[in-house]
Amino acid sequence: MDFNDIVDSISIKPYYLDREAGQVIYCADCRDILPLIPDKSIDLVLTDPPYGVGIDFGIYQDTPQNWRDLMLWSIPELNRISQCVIMPCSRIVELPFIYANFKAIGYFVGISELRHKGHMWVSMIGSLTWFMAK
């Protein structure tokens, strides 16, 4: 499945699309768009979901329960669409939940290895840097 097949299978209008460059941006709720993306069609998901610690994200209420509901739905969905998922797994208080439920799919930036359900290992050389322009 190539880039154009993936874009054509998603019924939401892109915010930005350059077919020649193979670039597309959707501005959407992930719960609307992830189910439209074909299985294992994405090489890498790099995401920074909410933390469940009450940060003001506008329309999203960042409560622990909302965070858990979002993780329980979105992490399996991210695994379904992608070969590899990289995400900071929230602040340290939620680490036990992530490890108990997802076998260390999520990890903190800088941790050297990521294990997903016993069949995928990714070694990171160096670390990722998150830059918040605020």
Ligand X SMILES: C[S@@+](CC[C@H](N)C(=O)[O-])C[C@H]1O[C@@H](n2cnc3c(N)ncnc32)[C@H](O)[C@@H]1O
Total residues binding ligand X (CB under 6 A) = 10
Among 4, 46, 57, 109, binds ligand X (CB under 6 A): 57
| CA–CA separation, 47 and 118 (whole Å) | 21
Please, what is the minimum distance in Å from the beta carbon of residue 93 to ligand X? 15
Helix H or strand E encompassing 81: helix 64-81
Site for ligand X contains 48 (CB under 6 A): yes
Q: Which stretch binds ligand X (CB under 6 A): 28-36, 38-46, 107-115, 120-128?
A: 28-36
Instruction: List the structure tokens of 56.
Output: 């003001």
Q: Which stretch binds ligand X (CB under 6 A): 3-11, 47-55, 100-108, 113-121?
A: 47-55
Site for ligand X contains 91 (CB under 6 A): no
Q: Which is nearer to ligand X, 125 or 132 (CB)?
A: 132
| CA–CA separation, 120 and 110 (whole Å) | 18
Is residue 19 within 8 Å of 58, Cβ to Cβ?
no
According to DSSP, residue 58 is labeled T
Site for ligand X contains 49 (CB under 6 A): yes
| Burial of 23 per CB tally in 10 Å (0-12, 13-18, 19+) | exposed
Q: Which residues bind ligand X (CB under 6 A)?
A: 29-31, 48-50, 57-58, 60, 132
